[in-house]
Structure 1
Amino acid sequence: MFNPLAFAETNLGRAGWLLALEILGGAAAAMVLSELGYSSDIAIIVVWLLNTATAWFIGKAAAAQGKNQWLYGLPSLAPPIAIWLFFKLHSYDAMQRLSLNSAGPRK
């Protein structure tokens, strides 16, 4: 199965999957609610509430990388900032894994 976050840090992978579920689920819920004649604001509120778990995992991933958990977790309560911080942490994690793999002995 295709898993783009298979080698990422555990909390970072969880945050990534939650972000994907929030985006896709929120868009689907907003479309369904608008088709049923309701306001799509309900879906936005649910996405913001579910984003608290994502912010928690982003904060834990930042702490695992040696960064301040609160400086990454609290701003992540806003979904657009959470997306940006996720990609920032993911790129740092990927670069660390690349440098560890290439630091081996050369023959």
Structure 2
Amino acid sequence: MFDPFSLAETNLRRAGWLLGLEILGGTGAVMGLSELGYPADLAIVAVWLLNVVAAWFIGKAAAAQGKSRWLYGLPALAPPIAVWLFFKLHSEDALRRLSPGSPP
């Protein structure tokens, strides 16, 4: 099975999958609801609720890297910032795994 986050830390991997689900599911839900004549607000609320869980995992991943859970988790409540913070943490996690002498 294709897992782009297979080597990432567990909480970071979970946040990545949730953010991917938010983007793809939210886009599909907005398009489907607008096609049926319903307001897109329902899909936006669902994306925001799913983002709360992703922000929690981003905060836990930041704590696992030795960073402040609150300084990463609270701003991640906004979906665009959550995506940016995810990629920031993911790149730092990948660099730590690639550095010589570090545990996998």
TM-score relative to the length of structure 1: 0.92
Can you list the C-alpha shifts for 1:56-103, whole angstroms capped at 9, x where unaligned?
00000000000000000000000000000000000000000000xx33
Instruction: Report percent identity of matched pairs.
Output: 73
* SS of corresponding position for 2:5: coil
* SS of corresponding position for 2:38: coil
Larger Rg: 1
Runs of 4+ in 1 over 2 A off after TM superposition: none
In the alignment, the residues of structure 1 paired with residue 74 and residue 101 of structure 2 have an alpha-carbon distance, to the nearest angstrom, of 35
In the alignment, the residues of structure 2 paired with residue 89 and residue 80 of structure 1 have an alpha-carbon distance, to the nearest angstrom, of 14
* SS of corresponding position for 1:66: coil
Partner of 1:78: 78
Partner of 2:13: 13
Matched, 1:67 2:67: yes
In the alignment, the residues of structure 1 paired with residue 83 and residue 29 of structure 2 have an alpha-carbon distance, to the nearest angstrom, of 19
The alignment of Structure 1 onto Structure 2 pairs a total of residues equal to 102
Gaps of 5+ in 2: none
* SS of corresponding position for 1:49: helix
Partner of 1:22: 22
Partner of 2:88: 88
Post-superposition offset of 1:41: 1.6
* SS of corresponding position for 2:16: helix
Q: What is the aligned-residue RMSD (CA, Å)?
A: 1.0
In the alignment, the residues of structure 2 paired with residue 6 and residue 67 of structure 1 have an alpha-carbon distance, to the nearest angstrom, of 22
Gaps of 5+ in 1: none
* SS of corresponding position for 1:2: coil
Amino acid at match of 1:2: F
